[in-house]
Structure 1
C-alpha cells in the first residue's frame, strides 16, 4: 500500500514499501539493535532453559535471527504478509503464524517470549489482555519481555507534540500487578539508552515522519505538514558537532511467569 495523505505529513502503512524503507533508514542510524541485543543476550544466559523462543510481532526478524541459535525451536507470530516474507528469509528455520495475537494458537510453552515495539498498534484498552494472552504461552519460570520507547525520550516527546499519543509501560506494569493473575510473577521495568544520529536533514525528517505514523487517540488526528516536521527536527535534534541526534531510550517490561 502506498503512503496516503492525512493532514500534512504522509501516513505510512505498515504494509507498504515506504514504511519498510523508513524503518531501514532508522535502523541504519540507531544503536538500538546493538543495545537491545546485548541486553537480551544477558537475559538468555540467565534463563533456566532455552527450548523455545516465541517472538510476537518480529517484523523482518532481525532480533529473532540474533536470538534463535540459542534456542532449540523458534516460533513467530507476524500478521503482516510483507514482514512475513522478510522474516522467512532471515529466519528460515522458524515456525511463522499469520494470525493476530489474540487469535493465534502457537501451542508452545516458551522459555522466552518477546513483544517488541508492537503495542503502539494495539488499542490501549487491549494491552493488558494481549500481554496476559502471551503469558499463557510462557513456561512457568520463563519470561515475557515487552519493549516500547520510553515516553519521556526526545522521540516520543515529538510524537506527543504532534499527535497527542503517549505510550507508557509503567501504566501496564501497574495494571499487571493489580490484575491478580496467578500466572504473573515478578514484574520489573528498566530503561535501555538508545539514540539515532543522521548527517542528512532529509533522511532525518523521513525518520521523524516514520515515528509520527502511530495510531492516535482519537483516531484520525491530522499529521503535521512536512515543513513543520523539518522545523522541529532543526530546532530539537540539531547536533552541535554536526548532523542530527534524537534520543529514543527504550523501556523493557519483564514479566516472569510464576512457577507452580
Structure 2
C-alpha cells in the first residue's frame, strides 16, 4: 500500500516523495523483507536458468538489489521518477525503463519476473491484461511472481473496514486459469507470514494511516478521521504486553510459462 499513488491505466506514478519515508517506517518494524527474501532465494535456487531478472514496479529496489547478484542481467520497469532515483542508487547496474507496464518494451526474456505489491494501483479490470503482458516477456520454463497482501489479514481487514476495498488475487488466478493456452502454464498460490510490531502508538498509527492512503480513484480526498483510526488501532492491534502488532501476511501467485515445444 502507499500514500496517494495516482495511476493512469497500466502506470505506477507516485505524487509524493514522502512515499519512501512512509514505506521505510513501515518496513523498519516489519519482518516482511526478511521473509520475502528467504522465499525468493529458494525460488531462485530452483530456476533452471538465471540469465535475466525483470522487476516490474520495484520501488526503491531493495528486493531487486537482493536478487540481482544471482542473475546475469537485471531490467526494471518503474514509471515513478522518485522511485527511479532511489532505484538507481540501489541498483546502479540495472537497466531502468520509465514506461508504464502496458506500454513498455523491455526487449528481454526473463527467467524470473516480479510484480510485487503493484496491483493495488492498477484497476482490477487491468489485472489480467497486465499479468498476461508481463508473461510475454518470460522465458520458457520461467516464472512470474505476483505479490499482494492476503485479503484476510489484519491489515487488510482494517483497509476494508475504513474504505470498503478488497484486493484478492484468488479471482485473478481463476481468470488466468481459464485463459486460452499461451504463456500461462502452471499457477500456484503461496502465503507468506508477515507482521509489523512496535512499542509506540504514534508509530503504529502512522503505519496504519500509510496503509489507508489508497490510490485514486479507489480512495477519496478525505482520509479516515485520525481519532477513528487510533480507536481501531487500540482495539485490534494492542497486545497484552502493551505493544502493537499488525499481521500483514502476503500472497504470492506463482505463474510458470510452459516449456518450449
Q: Provide TM-score, normalisation by structure 1.
A: 0.93
TM alignment of 1:32-181, pairs within 5 A: 32-181=32-181
Q: CA deviation at 1:259?
A: 1.4
Q: Distance in 2 between matches of 1:74 and 1:49?
A: 14
Structure 2: gaps of 5 or more residues: 5-12
Partner of 1:7: none
Does the aligned pair in 2 maintain the 1:165–1:216 contact within 8 Å?
no
d(CA) in 1 for partners of 2:220, 2:202: 25
2:181 and 2:225 map into 1 onto residues whose CA distance is 45
Look up the match of 1:250. 250
In the TM superposition, what is the alpha-carbon distance from 1:217 to its structure 2 partner?
6.4
**Number of residue equivalences:** 250
Change (3 A) 1:219 1:197: closer
Contact 2:165-2:218 at 8 Å conserved across structures:
no
Write the distance in 2 (CA, Å) between the matches of 1:219 and 1:180.
Answer: 34
Match of 2:27, SS state, is helix
Name the CA distance, whole Å, in 2 between partners of 1:51 and 1:160. 40
CA RMSD of aligned residues (A): 1.5
Query: What is the 5 A alignment of 1:155-234?
Result: 155-215=155-215, 220=220, 222-234=222-234
Distance 1:209 1:103 in 2: 32
> Any unmatched runs of 5+ in structure 1?
5-12
What's the offset of the Cα at 1:220?
2.6
Tell me, yes or no, if the aligned pair for 2:213 and 2:219 is still in contact at 8 Å. no
* SS class of match (2:143): strand
For residue 10 of structure 2, what is the aligned residue in structure 1? none
Matching residue of 1:239: 239
| Rounded Cα–Cα distance in structure 1 between residues aligned with 2:75 and 2:24 | 24
Task: Output the CA distance in 2 between the equivalents of 1:217 and 1:158.
Answer: 19
Q: Contact 1:15–1:81 at 8 Å: present in 2 too?
A: no
TM-score by length of 2: 0.92
Q: CA deviation at 1:181?
A: 3.5
More deviation in 205-214 or 57-66? Answer: 205-214
Listed one character per residue, the Cα deviations across residues 69-104 of structure 1 (whole Å, up to 9, x for unaligned) are 000000000011001000000000000000110010
Distance 1:80 1:217, change over 3 A: closer
Q: Is the 8 A contact 1:164 1:217 kept in 2?
A: no
- What per-residue deviation string (whole Å, max 9, x for no partner) do you get for residues 123-168 of structure 1? 0000000000000000010000000000000000000000111000
